[in-house]
Structure 1
């Protein structure tokens, strides 16, 4: 098994708790004001958790960045580290391909131009580009 040098999840499963927590707060607010709708608040909490689960799954699948001792994973795409020749001072040409299968760098992520062994430049992305650069450099 490969050693993980860098890991950045697209989302955490703790976000599933937001809906039920909202429902508990709503129920407690109703307790203070008088009449309570227990079944309705249970359904609201479960409903919010159910619609949050696919969102978390998608973010974890398509926005996870991982660097192991052998590969760089960007969403659905992997690049062997042996193909990466340069990560420092690489200019990003217009129209450079974005790793992970998207048309552009995901929102709220910074891009890191990477030169491959066939002299093409691709755009890697992460929220912490410096940590990604360090992991790719092997230092």
Structure 2
């Protein structure tokens, strides 16, 4: 996928689609999301981001989004755990998935909760990398 990204002239965020609808707000401080959380919550987040290639980490008001050409994952740190979701181009199964929402055949949100680092297994990391490919829009036909 070689199409250039559109940059919002107001907030500076990039998008795959011109004039894409979004909350046009300045990004915040990433560390703020981890204020008052157990150190393991930040460690799990950092490990997951470290498993990926180049990625924009967007510290939004209520979540942390991971973005390449499009956002493909989001995290909401809580005091003792890390809630989040992955966007995949299919319905997938994993013991961590608490709920799945199908928005279209190739836009499926998978909600999860991580409570300990040991839950981040090879299968979950493979799904994270699959979501990254969705963020790159490699799931779209050329």
TM-score tier by shorter-chain length is under 0.3
> Greater strand share, 1 or 2?
2
Between Structure 1 and Structure 2, which shows a larger proportion of helix residues? Answer: 1
Give me the TM-score of the superposition, normalised by structure 2.
0.25
Which structure has the greater CA radius of gyration? Answer: 1
TM-score (norm 1): 0.26
